[in-house]
Amino acid sequence: MPDFLVMPYKECDFLCPKEEFEASTMRVTENGRVKFGDLSLREVDLDGRLRTLFPEISPQNTGLSLVCRADRLFPSQENPFQDELVALRVGSESFVAPYAFSDFRLIPYLLRSKLMSHGIQAIRFVSEKVQYLIDLPAFLQDGRAGATL
């Protein structure tokens, strides 16, 4: 079973494949950039973008940054940062867990085009909670990622 990063919120969870990330680090900033060893990385506020798209979710303590290769996050367009690595700001309660792809379902027809246009690829239901599977490069490249559903 593949591993996924789970970004839990009170109302729902967001999951993306762990292979999108190189490392994680406690979020320590200096001059608006995330410190990662000797490097100073530009940051994308993934938590903020999720809350913009889903305004009903509660804010989190964003004390964690995921270190990602920029060419994986922006494969079909020019890297807007011109950096090899970037940091994604996520909630401190994020964790990694294995899930089978067969656990996920297609998005219901009436919501499919809307959600998929924002990089939301599939859903699964756990107890009374919805979990959304995110195609992270599609979500970050979506020019409407700042729009609400």
Please report, in tens digits, the pLDDT of each residue of the chain (149 residues total).
899 999 999 889 999 999 989 998 888 888 888 999 899 998 888 988 888 888 888 877 888 899 998 888 776 666 566 668 889 999 889 999 999 988 888 877 777 777 877 888 888 888 889 999 998 888 887 644 443 33
pLDDT at res. 149 = 35
Flag whether 149 is in a domain: no
| Structural domain containing residue 23 | 3-141
Q: Which helix (H) or strand (E) holds 113?
A: helix 109-116
Flag whether 28 is in a domain: yes
Q: How many domains, in total, are found in the chain?
A: 1
Flag whether 148 is in a domain: no
pLDDT at res. 17 = 92
Pair type for strands 29-30 and 39-44: unpaired
Distances from the Cα of 97 to the Cαs of 1, 4, 45, in angstroms?
9, 5, 22
pLDDT at res. 98 = 94
Calpha distance 102→10 (Å, rounded): 24
Question: Contact, 137 vs 73, CB < 8 A?
Answer: yes
